[in-house]
Amino acid sequence: MKNPNPYIHRDISWLSFNYRVLQEAKDKNVPLFEKLKFLAIYSSNLGEFYRVRVSNHKNLINAGKKTLKKVEFEPRKIVAQILKIVTKQQLEFSKIFEEDIVPSLKREGISLLRIKELNDAQSKFIDNYFYDNLIPDIQPILLKGNMVKPFLQNGALYLGVYMRSNDEKDKGKYYAIVKIPSFTKKRFIELPSKKNVSIIMLDDLVRKIIPNIFPGFKIVDSYSIKLTRDAELYIGDEYQGDLVEKIKKSLKKRDKGPTSRLVYDRTMPNHFLNYLQMVFDIQDMDLLPEGRYHNNFDFAKFPSFGKGHLKDIGIPPLSYSTLSNSTDYFGEIKKRDHLLYFPYHSYSSVIKFFEEAASDPHTTHIKIVQYRVAKNSKIMDAIIKAVKNGISVTAFIEIKARFDEAANLRWAEKLEAKGVKVIYSMPGLKVHSKLAMVRKIVDGVEEYYSYLSTGNFHEGTAKLYTDFGLFTYDKKINEEVRMVFSFLETKVRPSREFKQLAVGAFNLKEKIKELIQTEITNAKAGKKAYITLKMNSLQDNEMIDLLYTASKAGVRIKMIIRGICCLVPGVPKISENITAVSIVDKYLEHARVFIFGNNGNELVFLSSADWMVRNLHRRVETMFPVKDPVLKQFVTNIIRIQLNDNVKARVFGKKKENAYKKNDGQSIRSQYDIYYYIKSGLETV
């Protein structure tokens, strides 16, 4: 019997999330340079989406009917739906850029010029700039049908050039491609100007000099194109052979994989597009029309020209003085738990956790799980220092963290060379827990201190992602953190069950189901029952069905879901007791918080895990309780502020319309209100 419950396909829901990012670029209250930043984020997100998710669908299509029997959807239909949605979004992207961003820049004294708008001095400057800076990097290729099939570099920008011969007797059409060196050269070039600022994009600069590249031809027009490739590593059976070596070899092939999309200027004539399809073996489902420019993630590098008023007002991170200024750092943790919320709190307290441990003669061991690592990491420097001081250091490095594989491998090799015991990825599982532990021996007695977080040990993202981090001396929690590290080191499952923690690949999903079921039981008994959830993504159908069951039983469910939400709120007799919002703003909402009414004895959990199939089934994740009543109140107050957001909150509904939450009174922009809430004095939590 077919399940009657409503679901939104995860990729369609993701496109809805990315549209929320695009909405920020057209919000009249968002500063101009921040609008450019959101255009960049939208573009970067979409590129990764095509390289991962769309490529997966195309692989299923190419695999044939035998494989399709095992999937719940028709991938060809999903790809067609994705193309329809993205094409519409790209039209809106171009409209925002051409009709809002460019005129707004001009009003601020920044003119983004095209070739026809250049004066003589600027034209001469471009000619000189080309010969002085670009000529060795320009790669023109005259296409000759199937005779010449150049390899298009993944993500590189090219100009497709449509030409006619200067010989009047030759009536043929000629096509060429010219690589734009945007990976190695500045994308935005300042031009000489008597007043204000004039700039030209590298793409248009190259367009101007194309006639010099193809003498003997008349340039009819040129159109930008870009090809991106499947990002899957295809490492085969993870249980056989050396997994690290397989990943290293696969990384070398990633940028040579199958086509995930060919992005092209939508004004390109059909005869040219058809020709490119023939030359590069591009299928119709691989085509994605965009505007004049691609790789718009480069807008994140748009020069500021000293115009700071076009950016968001800075909110400097707050010092958590109880730890950051303490002369007895671990003594403070021993007294009580400490909970920080980044980036509102400074990340320096986390760095100090490792630096203090590395310098303390009582420290015997430091253990850490690394999923994504900053390029320049003070945390990594601290654990290397710890080894020099005779401390045993163990680092689990997840080298299957997508798009960070190479960086993590480099760090792993560096750490090993310095004497750190490095444990690499586990076959069949990703380790996504955010854990660290310090062991000390003081007066002959063992002491354990743990740090558990919803976010990575990454000093860069800690400035941009909202995440909770808990420092604890709690002996029961620390014992189970040790169990997790023991499993990672030995691959032997613990002999006893987790009770304090819920751990992916062990009891995480079962624990969450048990907590939801308790609320259902309480609701049916006439007791007050509620669930509040904050996460990045909700996709696991079993969990969605259980939330629907809870709603039918009368459990009040409030959700803050940043990205994918496959659940449909507000459906009569199914999810009428469920409301959901998404907050997209200055910071990326990354924390996972699960709150359960529990008949008046409220339970608060923080986690590294979203409710996606991969997190609940194929990853080692950690969910941990917030026990201290003051800290619990701190978390629930923050969630309450976010639920009341009426400036940046978008409402999920049956139509997935991404409507802004109605604002009938005082404006509440949660990310700023949370900052002032913490600044007002509760940093002592």
Whichever domain contains 367, its CATH number is 3.30.870.10
The pLDDT of residue 684 is 47
265-287 per-position pLDDT tens digit: 999 999 999 999 999 999 999 99
pLDDT band at residue 169, thresholds of 50, 70 and 90?
Answer: confident
In a domain, 179, yes or no: yes
Q: Which amino acid is at 306?
A: G
Mean per-residue pLDDT of the chain: 92
Residue 33 in contact with residue 668, Cβ under 8 Å?
no
In a domain, 294, yes or no: yes
Q: Which whole number is the average pLDDT over 469-488?
A: 97
Same domain, 174 and 28: yes
Q: Which residues are catalytic?
A: 432
How buried is 260 (Cβ within 10 angstroms: 0-12 exposed, 13-18 middle, 19+ buried)?
A: buried
Query: From CA 581, how far away is CA 565, in angstroms rounded?
Result: 10
The pLDDT of residue 125 is 95
Same domain, 453 and 556: no
* Tally of domains in the chain: 3
Domain-ending residue, one of 308, 339, 360 = 308
pLDDT band at residue 620, thresholds of 50, 70 and 90?
Answer: very high
Domain-ending residue, one of 308, 331, 354 = 308
Q: Which whole number is the average pLDDT over 300-325?
A: 92
pLDDT higher than threshold 80 for residue 43: yes
Same domain, 389 and 295: no
In Å, how far from its chain's centre is CA 323? 30
In a domain, 497, yes or no: no
Question: What do you get for the CA distance between the two ends of the chain, in Å?
Answer: 51
Same domain, 168 and 129: yes
pTM of the model: 0.94
Question: With b meaning 16 or more CB within 10 Å and e meaning fewer, what string describes 571-584?
Answer: beebbebbbbbbbb
Query: From CA 125, how far away is CA 130, in angstroms rounded?
Result: 9
Length of the chain: 685
In a domain, 395, yes or no: yes
Same domain, 464 and 565: no
Domain-ending residue, one of 253, 279, 308 = 308
Same domain, 304 and 356: no
CATH code (residue 244): 3.30.1840.10
Asked which of 114-118, 218-222, 251-255, 335-339 is least confident by mean pLDDT, the reply is 251-255
Same domain, 200 and 230: yes
In a domain, 154, yes or no: yes
What are the angstrom distances between the C-alpha of 1 and each of 4, 161, 572? Answer: 9, 56, 21
Question: With b meaning 16 or more CB within 10 Å and e meaning fewer, what string describes 138-154?
Answer: beeeebeeeeeeeebbb
Same domain, 183 and 293: yes
User: To 10 degrees, what angle do helices 75-96 and 32-49 make?
Assistant: 160
In a domain, 3, yes or no: no
Other CB atoms within 10 Å distance of the CB of residue 77 = 11
530-584 per-position pLDDT tens digit: 999 999 999 999 999 999 999 999 999 999 999 999 999 999 999 999 999 999 9
pLDDT higher than threshold 70 for residue 211: yes
DSSP 8-state class, residue 372: S
pLDDT band at residue 2, thresholds of 50, 70 and 90?
Answer: low
Those residues with Cβ within 8 angstroms of residue 611's Cβ, 6 or more apart along the chain or in another chain: 512, 533, 535, 537, 538, 539, 540, 543
What are the angstrom distances between the C-alpha of 478 and each of 92, 347, 530? Answer: 51, 22, 29
372-396 per-position pLDDT tens digit: 988 889 999 999 999 999 999 999 9
Same domain, 17 and 158: yes
- The domain containing residue 33 runs over which residues? 10-308
In a domain, 315, yes or no: no
In a domain, 1, yes or no: no
pLDDT band at residue 683, thresholds of 50, 70 and 90?
Answer: very low
Same domain, 648 and 677: yes
pLDDT band at residue 408, thresholds of 50, 70 and 90?
Answer: confident
Same domain, 556 and 478: no
Same domain, 539 and 644: yes
pLDDT band at residue 149, thresholds of 50, 70 and 90?
Answer: confident
